[in-house]
Structure 1
Amino acid sequence: MKRSFSFILAVLLVAACSKPEQTPTWTRIDLPADGPVVLTDVADCDGTWWAVGAVRTGATETRPAAWTGDPWTEVRFVPRPESYYGPRQIIRSVACADGRVAMVGSVPGGAHGNPRVSTWRRQADGRMTENKAPFETYGGDEAIDVGPIAASRQGFAIAGTRTSGAAAWLSSDGVTFTLDESDRAGTSATGITARPDGSWLITGTGADQQPAAWVVDDGRWAPAAPPPPVRETGVDSRNSPVEPVAVAERGPTRLMAGDDSLWQTTG
């Protein structure tokens, strides 16, 4: 039976509209390493992909590690000569702006296994150097948690929590970080982003355990409305080869870290 063009076109349109979205094709990236890889964060830094974490050197031992791509190469880490925990850390978070890169690393230590935290900065030759800081800056009796790092043209900031409540560590150069406590008992800070005016938006929970946010500028903490949920990156764990730990996007390309593998898809 002869079909009219309009009929065939209608069938094609219905089929196209009912066609489910294509499952992305993920390609595994083999990172150069001399042992099993641990991944915690990924980022697009001025057009260069970064993946950070650690390399396992034993059953319970690690060393800090990061890779840049593409092509993917491992970054060299230079702990301070007197540092005991720096050479054993896992890098937890990476941030970059205007060619500057900084990271936060930690590893359990001491009698109670509390995190021993360091920050790291990128040198002109590409190496990551551990920054010197008094133990009480990130640790001590008031320590609870040190969270993610963010970057802007003005510098770097880290969100976290002390016994006094939500806190931040601020730095203009990625070398020296200064603790800035909110003195809001019962609150916590778990996320941080740079604002166009040079201040920082910190998100977390209030004393009533509800979402809370603050704008931090020059040592002043001002309450802010919690931002709406960020747009999903489009990675559906049901259609991905591993459970996502972190995802970064550059245009149609997505870089995804599992806890021990790196993946990429385009489209």
Structure 2
Amino acid sequence: MKRSISFIAALLVVAACSKPEQEPAWSKIDLPTDGRMVLRDVADCGDKWWAVGGVLTGTASGASAGPMSDGQAAPATRPAAWIGSPGSAWTEVPFAPLPASYYGPRQVIKSVACADGRVAMVGAVPGGAHGNPRVSTWRLTTDGRMAENPAPFETYGGDEAVGVGPIAAGPRGFAIAGIRSSGAAAWFSPDGRTFTLSELDAAGTAADDVRALPDGRWLITGTTADQQPATWVVEDGHWAPGARPSDVRETAVVTDGELRIAGEPADAPVRPVAVATHADTILLAGDDSLWQATVHR
């Protein structure tokens, strides 16, 4: 029996409207390494992607080992970073041979950010008698190496230390979100070399994330003393309550170990640790593997 062209067209329209959104097709990226790697963050730096973390080098001993629940020494690590672009081979970024601290060469890079050709990172490793995190920042030098920035211990540690979180980059430099015993805190740097601590001075508050706003200010998100979501806008060390701008959106995010694309749950090849996007390409890091996919929108 023949069907009219209009009837067939109607069926095609219904089918197109009911077709579920296409899931991304993931391909694994091979990263050069001389040991077992761990990945903690990824970033889109324009013409290059960055992936950061560390490489397991053996079993630690002494002050940098840190405690484990079974009493055994923690694995020894070194900081690591890789750069590449979609469809190309990746290379490992060298680290400067002269670190600024004992703990620097043993750290895992936790977060990376970039803007205008500048790259900065935050690294940490358990250390000392209580295994508290020993935190450093790192910067990309003109010779293409990552160099550890010298800083007094109290900048990120000390009696008031609670936690140091992710780093972000913007037109005015870099910012790191975190928590001190006084509450929400952040560290700011114009060049990724020297960071200055800024505290909200509101007990019970916490800063979980930071990002640059187009006008150069910083948007910090976290929680209040009663665990309610909070947002602050910081400029020149001054903290003010502020709403999240409606134009600050992300194509893909990782929330509670789940990948979400355009606000909806999406399939991932591994449990995601971090994600970054550039145009229609997504870069996703698992604990020990790196993946990319094209998003059809």
User: TM bucket by the smaller chain?
Assistant: over 0.9
How many pairs were matched up? 267
CA contact (8 A) 1:80 1:86 kept: no
Q: 275, 279, 286: which one pairs with 1:251?
A: 279
SS in 1 for 2:158: coil
CA contact (8 A) 2:184 2:202 kept: yes
Match of 2:216 in 1: 198
Match of 2:42 in 1: 42
Q: Residues 261 and 73 (structure 1 numbering): CA distance in 2 closer, same or farther, change over 3 Å?
A: same
Match of 2:58 in 1: 58
**Does 1:131 pair with 2:149?**
yes
SS in 2 for 1:77: coil
**Does 1:67 pair with 2:82?**
yes
**Does 1:121 pair with 2:115?**
no
- RMSD, aligned α-carbons: 1.7
Would you identify which runs of 4 or more consecutive aligned residues in structure 1 move more than 3 Å?
A: 79-82, 226-232, 234-238
**How far apart are the structure 2 equivalents of 1:18 and 1:44?**
34
Q: Residues 238 and 44 (structure 1 numbering): CA distance in 2 closer, same or farther, change over 3 Å?
A: closer
**How far apart are the structure 2 equivalents of 1:121 and 1:97?**
12
Output the amino acid matched with 1:41: D
State TM-score, norm by structure 2. 0.85
Q: Residues 81 and 126 (structure 1 numbering): CA distance in 2 closer, same or farther, change over 3 Å?
A: closer
**How far apart are the structure 1 equivalents of 2:235 and 2:228?**
23
CA apart distance, 1:139 = 0.2
Shifted more, 143-152 versus 232-241: the winner is 232-241
**How far apart are the structure 1 equivalents of 2:97 and 2:186?**
24
Match of 1:264 in 2: 292
**How far apart are the structure 2 equivalents of 1:129 and 1:12?**
58
CA contact (8 A) 1:237 1:244 kept: no
CA contact (8 A) 1:53 1:92 kept: yes
Match of 1:23 in 2: 23
Q: Residues 82 and 127 (structure 1 numbering): CA distance in 2 closer, same or farther, change over 3 Å?
A: closer
CA contact (8 A) 1:165 1:181 kept: yes
CA apart distance, 1:3 = 1.5
Q: Residues 68 and 206 (structure 1 numbering): CA distance in 2 closer, same or farther, change over 3 Å?
A: same
SS in 1 for 2:58: coil
Cα shift readout 1:32-70 (whole Å, capped 9, x = no counterpart): 000111111111112210101111112511110010003
Match of 1:76 in 2: 94
**How far apart are the structure 2 equivalents of 1:81 and 1:72?**
24
Match of 1:189 in 2: 207
Shifted more, 73-82 versus 130-139: the winner is 73-82
Match of 2:68 in 1: none
**Does 1:108 pair with 2:126?**
yes
Shifted more, 134-143 versus 233-242: the winner is 233-242
CA apart distance, 1:82 = 5.5
**How far apart are the structure 1 equivalents of 2:219 and 2:16?**
43
**How far apart are the structure 1 equivalents of 2:99 and 2:176?**
25
Alignment of 1:162-241 (within 5 A): 162-226=180-244, 230-231=249-250, 233=252, 234-235=260-261, 239-241=267-269
**How far apart are the structure 2 equivalents of 1:9 and 1:81?**
68
Shifted more, 2-11 versus 29-38: the winner is 2-11
State TM-score, norm by structure 1. 0.95
Q: Residues 178 and 82 (structure 1 numbering): CA distance in 2 closer, same or farther, change over 3 Å?
A: closer
**How far apart are the structure 2 equivalents of 1:164 and 1:33?**
41
In the alignment, structure 1 segments of 5+ residues that lack a partner are none
Q: How high is the sequence identity, in percent, across the aligned residues?
A: 69
Match of 1:8 in 2: 8
Q: Residues 44 and 133 (structure 1 numbering): CA distance in 2 closer, same or farther, change over 3 Å?
A: same
